[in-house]
Amino acid sequence: MNSKPTDIRVIGSELYFLPIKTRVPLKFGSETLTEVTCARVRVWVEAAPGQTAEGWGETPLSVQWVWPSQLSHDERGHALQEFCQRVSESFAPFDAAGHSFEISHLFQEQVLPSLLRHLNQQRPGREPMPWLAALVCYSSFDLALHDAYGQIHQCPVFETYNARFMSRDLASFLTPAGPDVSFAGKYPQDFLLPRRRDRLTTWHLVGGLDPLEYFELTSHSPDDGYPLLLQDWIKADELKCLKIKLRGTDSAWDYERLVKVGRIGLANGVEWLSADFNCTVQAPEYVVEILDRLQQEHPPIYGQILYVEQPFPYELENHRIDVHGVSARKKLFLDESAHNWQCVRLGRELGWTGVALKTCKTLTGALLSACWGKAHGLSLMVQDLTNPMLAQIPHLLLAAHLDTLMGVETNCMQFYPEASRPEAQIHPGIYQRRHGQVDLSSIGGPGFGYRLPEINRSLPSPVARSV
C-alpha cells in the first residue's frame, strides 16, 4: 500500500464499560433486553512524529442481538467483555499505517479472526461466540479510529473517504458481481450524498412487549413522564414510520400484531410500516402467507409496509434460502446476516433486495456494504442497536450521508432516554424526535463532531489500557 503524508498509526487505546438499564423491556426474537453494557473506547493515533490526536467510539454490547442462545445472559456478556479487552490488548501493537478505513480493514482481516478463534479455543465444550459478536466488540475501536483520523486532520471524517486521503480505491476491497460494475478509481465518497442531511425521518420501534392499549399497562409500567402507549408516542413525536418487532414462530400472533399496530398507525397519521422478524423464520412461506393474507384482508395496512427485515437465520452460508417469493411482494432487507459485503453479495443472489447498515458492525464494514449494495441496485437503510450516548452520533451521521430508503431507525429515546442526558445537553436534536425527525445540526467539528469537551460526563476507571 502506497504511503501518504496523511497516514496515521495507532499508538494506544483505552477501554471503558458503561452499564445501562432500560425503562421498559425490549424484546429481541425469543429474548428480552432489560440492561446493556456499552463499550466506550479511546484511541490515540500519530501522524508525523509528535503529531498525535485521540478519538472516541462507543457501541452497546447487546448480548441478545449479537448472540441468540440458550446460554445464560451473564456467560455471554462476560465473553463479550473479555473479547473487548483482548481487542484492546492487540489494537495498539498492530503495526499498520494508512487511513483509518484501511487500518481497520486490515485489523478485521488479519487479527480479529484469530482473536475470536483463541477465545473460543479457551471455552472447550461451550458454544462458540459468533462472528457478529466479535464485530460488535471491535466496532468501538473502529469508530474511535475513524474519529481520531478526523481529529488529527481537523476535518469531519466523512470528508476523508476519497483519493486525497486514501491510498487504495474500492477495487482493492470489493469485487463486483459482474462486468457491468467497476470499483476501479472509486472511493467511498463516490457513493455518499454530496452534502450531509441535517434532518432525518425517524423510525419508531414497536417492541414485542410494548403495550398498545390501556388495559395492557401494569403496576410495573414506569411513571417517568415519557410515553408508554404507541398512540402517545406517535402524537408526542409526530411519528410517521413504525418498525414492528414480530416473533417469527407464531404466525397468528404476528399477523394480529401487524393488524393492531397498523390500525393504530392509520388512525394517527403514520405513513409507513416495516416488519422485523428477527431471524426466527425458517421458511419463506411463513412470511408470504402473512403478507398475502394482509393484502387480502387489510390492503391499506399492506400498502404501508415499506419493507420486511431479516426474517431468516443469521448465517447465510449455512442457510441458503431462496427468498425471491418474499422480495417479489416487499423489499427484503438483510440485517444480522449482513456481516460484510460478501454476505450482501450472497444475499443478492438469493433474492434479498436491500441491506440494513449498522455502525455496530463497524463503520468500515458498513461503508463497504453500502458501496457494494448501491453499485448493484440494492436499497439501503441504517438501523439502530438502541444506540445511546456517543454511539448515537456516528449512527446518525452514517444515515445522514447515505441515500437511504426512508430516514433512519433510532430508539434510544424510547428505552433509556436518561442515559444520554449529558450528551443531550449539547445535542438536543439527536436524542429526541420532533415532527417525526431527528436534527443533526448541533454535530460539528473534526472527526464525528462529538464536541466532547462540552459534554459533562464522568467515566468510570478504564478496564484496559494498551500503549
Domains of the chain: 9-172 (3.30.390.10), 188-446 (3.20.20.120)
Indicate the helix (H) or strand (E) that contains 73. helix 73-91
Please classify residue 125 by burial: count the beta carbons closer than 10 Å to its beta carbon, then call 0-12 exposed, 13-18 middle and 19+ buried: exposed
Cα–Cα distance between 440 and 445 in angstroms, integer?
12
- Given CA atoms 138, 143, 146, 151 in this order, what sign does their dihedral have? negative
Task: Report the DSSP beta bridge partners of residue 201.
Answer: 437
Question: From CA 97, how far away is CA 192, in angstroms rounded?
Answer: 25
* CA torsion through residues 79, 83, 84, 89, sign: positive
Rg of the chain over Cα atoms, rounded to whole angstroms, equals 21
- Please report, in tens digits, the pLDDT of each residue of the chain (467 residues total): 678 999 999 999 999 999 999 999 998 777 889 999 999 999 999 997 889 999 999 999 999 999 999 999 999 999 999 999 999 999 999 999 999 999 999 999 999 999 999 999 999 999 999 999 999 999 999 999 999 999 999 999 999 999 999 999 999 999 999 999 999 999 999 999 999 999 999 999 999 999 999 888 887 889 899 999 999 999 999 999 999 999 999 999 999 999 999 999 999 999 999 999 988 999 999 999 999 999 999 999 999 999 999 999 988 888 899 999 999 999 999 998 889 999 999 999 999 999 999 999 999 999 999 999 999 999 999 999 999 999 999 999 999 999 999 999 999 999 999 999 999 999 999 999 999 999 999 999 999 999 999 999 999 999 999 98
Express each pLDDT in 265-314 by its tens digit: 999 999 999 999 988 999 999 999 999 999 999 999 999 999 999 999 98
CA 88 to chain centre: 21
Cell 459485503 maps to which residue?
A: 341
Contact 223, 183 (CB under 8 A): no
Query: What are the cell numbers at 377?
Result: 441496485
Q: What's the Cα-to-Cα distance from 379 to each of 193, 317, 375, rounded to whole Å? A: 15, 22, 10
Q: Which DSSP string corresponds to 182-196? A: --TT--GGGGS-SS-
Model pTM score: 0.97
Which helix (H) or strand (E) is 369 found in, with range? helix 363-375
All 3 cell numbers of residue 401? Answer: 450521508
